[in-house]
Amino acid sequence: MKIRNFIQFLIVSGMAVMLSGCESGDSNPADGHDFGDNDPNLYAAIGDSITYGWGATTTYPSILSSILGKTVINKGVPGAESPEGVSMARTVLANNKPGYLLILYGANDAITGYNLDQTVENLRAIIQAAKANKTIPIIGTVTPMYTEHIIFDGGTDYINERLIPMAKAEGAIVADLHAAFGTNVQYMQGDGLHPNDEGLRIIANTFADAL
């Protein structure tokens, strides 16, 4: 009788472990998603010079493409701010029909003194445009700033503190790039703003992990 009870205990425990694993958040965001006429194997990255890969020998979209084994088109524009991101998102969604939209804006907003509350609303508009297009939105937090750009880092903190809860409320996937970089200035080029090749790999890996 004791042996039978012990076996039953093992079975129940095993089932509990499996169920907890199913609830751990490891599910694929594409599971059950209706992509409409979008290409579920196409990823589009929109953003500023960080997405563009300014000053580096590679880009995070190209690294991410190698990780995923999928096409990741790079629509990064140096100097772009979040209002331009709204326009870019609409154009890319209409013309390219990506299954996934990778979003990374905010650094230039912080530098130029743009209204950062409006920055968050612009990012919300991008997420909503992706959802309306049946494209899965994945948004990155703004990377830290160091050395000569450290005076603008408070702006990145301001954006990120509001971006994360907004994105989660909108049902978007968040890739926390700011946390991934931490205080590791070695991931940046000398200007303390643009990631070097190693930093771009951190970005690519963080987006890949979020997916």
Q: Name the superfamily (CATH) of residues 47-210.
A: SGNH hydrolase (3.40.50.1110)
Is the pLDDT at 28 greater than 80, yes or no? no
**Predicted confidence band of residue 22 (pLDDT cuts 50, 70, 90):** very low
Locate tokens 């960080």: which residue?
A: 50
Mean pLDDT for the chain overall:
90
* d(C-alpha 48, C-alpha 100), whole Å: 18
Instruction: Please tell me the predicted confidence (pLDDT) of residue 86.
Output: 98
Name which of 15-19, 38-42, 112-116, 121-125 the model is least confident about: 15-19
Instruction: Please tell me the predicted confidence (pLDDT) of residue 12.
Output: 38
Is the pLDDT at 82 greater than 80, yes or no? yes
Long-range pairs for 205-210 at CB < 8 Å and ≥24 separation?
Answer: 205/63, 205/67, 205/180, 206/140, 206/175, 206/176, 206/177, 206/180, 207/60, 207/64, 207/102, 207/138, 207/140, 207/175, 208/64, 208/67, 208/68, 209/175, 210/138, 210/173, 210/174, 210/175
The neighbour count for residue 194, using CB atoms within 10 Å, is 23
Locate tokens 């971006």: which residue?
A: 163
Tell which wins on pLDDT, 28 or 209: 209
Instruction: Please tell me the predicted confidence (pLDDT) of residue 9.
Output: 41
Provide the whole-model pTM: 0.86
Is the pLDDT at 26 greater than 70, yes or no? no
pLDDT digits 0-9 by tens, 101-148: 999 999 999 999 999 999 999 999 999 999 999 999 999 999 999 999
Is the pLDDT at 172 greater than 80, yes or no? yes
Q: Which residue type does 198 have?
A: E
Calculate mean pLDDT across residues 154-175.
Answer: 98
Instruction: Please tell me the predicted confidence (pLDDT) of residue 184.
Output: 94
Q: DSSP secondary structure string, 121-135?
A: HHHHHHHHHHHHTTP
Q: Which residue type does 8 have?
A: Q
| 194 closest CA partner among 104, 82, 89, 116 | 104
Calculate mean pLDDT across residues 21-43.
Answer: 77
Token pair for residue 162? 């509001």
| 130 closest CA partner among 36, 67, 23 | 36
Q: Which residues, listed in sequence order, are joined to residue 139 by a DSSP beta bridge? A: 103, 174
